[in-house]
């Protein structure tokens, strides 16, 4: 789907367990300016419901899982983020929602820019308009 891509993070495992390294401009295809994580999401709570004008993000559930609903204005798609070795790259205008967080879910997000509320589109009708 346009503006959405899976990113694989090779696990550097040995007999002690696993390790994943995320490096800017390598495993993560942009310069990382911000990292945030969502955890302790209450049962039945959905988050997101916005798009970004310019931001690039990679989202990965380092533990647990959640269901992501994605909409690039042309098509809609649902994916489960349920692996610490597979992230989702979201570039440009994509309406996204996160649902069905498992109790143990820690959703880690790497972002290409600092937090800027002006970059958010939080109204779906506006998203459709801007996307035309």
What does the binding site for ligand TYD look like in residue numbers (CB under 6 A)?
A: 34, 36, 38, 47-48, 50, 115
Q: Which is nearer to ligand TYD, 12 or 118 (CB)?
A: 118
The CA distance from 26 to 36, in Å, is: 19
Residue 28 burial (CB < 10 Å; 0-12/13-18/19+)?
buried
Q: Do the Cβ atoms of 65 and 80 come closer than 8 Å?
A: yes
- For the record, the structure tokens of 30 come out as 């942009």
Query: Closest distance between ligand TYD and the C-beta of residue 63, in Å?
Result: 17
DSSP string, 22-53: --BTTTBSS---EEEEEE-PPTT--EEEEEES
Query: Does 96 participate in catalysis according to the annotation?
Result: no
User: What is the number of other CB atoms lying within 10 angstroms of the CB of residue 41?
Assistant: 20
Query: Closest distance between ligand TYD and the C-beta of residue 21, in Å?
Result: 22
Query: Closest distance between ligand TYD and the C-beta of residue 88, in Å?
Result: 14
Q: Which residues are catalytic?
A: 50
């Amino acid at each position: 789907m346009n503006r959405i891509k899976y990113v694989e993070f090779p696990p550097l495992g040995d007999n002690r367990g696993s390790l994943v390294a995320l490096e800017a401009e390598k495993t993560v295809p942009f310069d990382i300016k911000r990292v945030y994580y969502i955890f302790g999401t209450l049962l039945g709570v959905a988050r997101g419901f916005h798009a970004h004008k310019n931001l690039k993000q990679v989202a990965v559930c380092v533990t647990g899982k959640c269901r992501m609903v994605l909409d690039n204005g042309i098509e809609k798609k649902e994916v489960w983020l349920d692996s610490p070795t597979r992230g989702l790259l979201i570039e440009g205008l994509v309406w996204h929602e996160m649902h069905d967080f498992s109790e143990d879910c820690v959703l880690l997000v790497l972002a290409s820019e600092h937090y800027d509320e002006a970059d958010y589109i939080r109204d779906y009708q506006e998203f459709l308009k801007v996307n035309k």
